Amino acid sequence: MSKKKVPAKAENKKIGFERKDDQIRVDVPDLTTLLDLFGTDNTDLAHGLLLQAAGVSGTSDFKRLQQGCEIIIAIISDFAPQDATERLLSVQMAATHTSLMAISTKMNDARTLQQHEVYERSFNRLARTFTAQSETLRKHRNRGQSKVTVEHVTVNEGGQAIVGRIEKS
């Protein structure tokens, strides 16, 4: 999409979740809310990403499932994805964060050293993955450019300073 979209306000148009047997039903108030969430005009893509995002909170406890789905939707909404890369990264980062928090809870509740070590390894891997995803998103949004701001420069007597762009020929 060429124009910058702003996600729909969650207060007015909330995506709901309902469980019937082993199926999760996602209720979207209108198509615009769904499309705005993912910053796309592609309905199939938006539906697919929503189902993938909802599937991350795989739990048999419906209350926790609903809360998990709501936080994932809120995370994606805050990212306000603008293109395909941002759409996919926002879903992946929401999933990684949610998994990281679930593992953290399990690690805190571990009863044996072996359990704790397994959860700690998973926690560290997920944390590193999230950091890498964040860096990828940052680079993508900045188009690979870094900005350096020099706050203070000291030039001693007899020294020279160059202010401006230097190009190597």
Least Cα distance to 28 among 13, 44, 8, 6 occurs for 13
Least Cα distance to 16 among 7, 33, 8, 28 occurs for 28
pLDDT digits (tens, 9 = 90+) for 89-102: 999 999 999 889 98
The answer to the question of residue 59 being in a domain is: yes
The answer to the question of residue 20 being in a domain is: yes
DSSP at 28? -
| pTM, full prediction | 0.70
Cβ–Cβ under 8 Å, residues 94 and 72: yes
The whole-number pLDDT of residue 111 equals 94
The answer to the question of residue 154 being in a domain is: no
The whole-number pLDDT of residue 134 equals 95
d(CA 131, CA 49): 22
pLDDT digits (tens, 9 = 90+) for 51-78: 887 777 666 666 777 777 788 888 989 9
Least confident of 35-49, 104-118, 122-136: 35-49
The answer to the question of residue 156 being in a domain is: no
The count of C-alpha atoms lying within 13 angstroms of the C-alpha of 151, restricted to the half-sphere facing its C-beta, is 0
Cβ–Cβ under 8 Å, residues 149 and 126: no
The answer to the question of residue 147 being in a domain is: no
What is the DSSP track for 111-143? -SHHHHHHHHHHHHHHHHHHHHHHHHHHHHHTT
The answer to the question of residue 146 being in a domain is: no
Number of domains in the chain: 1
Question: Model confidence at 83, in pLDDT bands (50, 70, 90)?
Answer: very high
The whole-number pLDDT of residue 116 equals 94
Residue 137 confidence (pLDDT) above 90 = yes
Domain range for 90: 16-141
Q: How far apart are the first and last CA of the chain?
A: 38
Least Cα distance to 54 among 29, 78, 28 occurs for 28
The answer to the question of residue 90 being in a domain is: yes
The answer to the question of residue 53 being in a domain is: yes
